[in-house]
Amino acid sequence: MRSHRLHIDQVISLGCTLEITGQRARYITRVLRLGPGTELTLFDGSGGEFRACIETIGRDRAQLIVLEHRPVERESPLAVRLLQGVSRGERMDYAIQKATELGVTEIVPVLTEFGVVRLGPDKSLQRRRHWQGVIISACEQCGRNRPPDVALPQSLDAALADLPADGSRWLLLPEDGAPLGSDPGPGPGESITVLIGPEGGLSPAEINQARAAGFQPRHLGPRVLRTETAATVALALIQGHWGDLAAQAYQDTAPVRRSP
């Protein structure tokens, strides 16, 4: 039977009793339809996960007791930062969801010249809260216990100014530069930053700006991919070459399969 994983926006500790109300409680009681005695896996984003059991439930509340702490982590050893041009609605949600599943450390939504999305301060806060919800749902599904950070939508200038000094910087452009994955990869402890434009791509001025900031052009083969597809493919290639999807890393962490 599939075990339900839930993120709880409270500090969780072994032996504590959690009073869950609001949307999370309604999800437990009305959507999952779980009753007393049901065990759940909880995480609060600080690392590790907890085995908990439902003690009591009400219409809009649930009381859980924490039974066990499991110091399990499913984070990639490779720090990957995604600078993603903000695209419309479901496309951006898809890119953020898959980036979370593929182990990114940080997501920086970038407002660009050719992007069709325009966000003021209030809308930016709303979109960030929405994307944080997408990230939490993806973590619940994929097993991550440490949700990646997502920044407020910002200009390319601001995003480039806030980058660390070391690490690899790659700019995805159709049919330009070397194939992604042909590099020797980052050095020990270094990160990878990937910049991907929105639906309309990056403007010539933005491409020059990224190049001046040390970004090297990379491509994903002969076909032009949608922005959300490009993010997914690029991150899968990066984790496959240098992260926890690499052959050796997968052999070290994959569960042992026994013959029946």
Q: Is the model's pLDDT at 258 over the cut of 60?
A: no
Q: Which amino acid is at 151?
A: A
Question: Rounded to whole angstroms, how far apart are CA atoms 168 and 45?
Answer: 27
Contacts of 73 (CB under 8 A, 6+ apart): 47, 48, 145, 146
Give the CA distances from residue 219 to residues 94, 107, 187, 211, 225, in Å, rounded to whole numbers and listed in that order.
20, 20, 21, 15, 10
Q: Torsion angle of alpha carbons 15, 19, 22, 24, nearest 10°?
A: 20
Cα–Cα distance for residue pair 156/181, rounded to 1 Å: 25
The arithmetic mean of pLDDT across residues 228-253, rounded, is 85
- Give the domains, in start order, of the chain with CATH numbers: 5-70 (2.40.240.20), 80-247 (3.40.1280.10)
Q: What is the pLDDT of residues 185-237, one digit of tens each?
A: 787 788 999 999 999 899 999 999 999 999 999 999 999 999 999 999 999 99
Given a contact cutoff of 8 angstroms between Cβ atoms, the answer to whether 169 and 163 are in contact is: yes
* Residue closest to 227 by CA, chosen among 259, 246, 202, 257: 202
Residue type, 159: A
% helix / strand / coil in the chain, to the nearest 5?
30, 25, 45
Average pLDDT over the chain, rounded to an integer: 91
Give the residue carrying structure tokens 């009591």: 56
Report DSSP state, residue 15: T
User: Quick check: 81 and 190 in contact, CB under 8 A?
Assistant: no
* Distance, CA of 119 to CA of 101 (rounded, Å): 26
The model's pTM is 0.91
Span 6-44, pLDDT tens digits: 999 999 999 999 999 988 899 998 899 999 999 999 999
* pLDDT confidence of residue 260: 32
Residue 40 CB burial class (10 angstroms; 0-12, 13-18, ≥19): buried
Of the listed ranges 105-119, 175-189, 224-238, the one predicted with least confidence? 175-189
State the DSSP string of 89-109. Answer: HHHHHHHHHHHHHTT-SEEEE
Q: What is the DSSP letter of 206?
A: H
CA terminus-to-terminus distance, the chain: 19
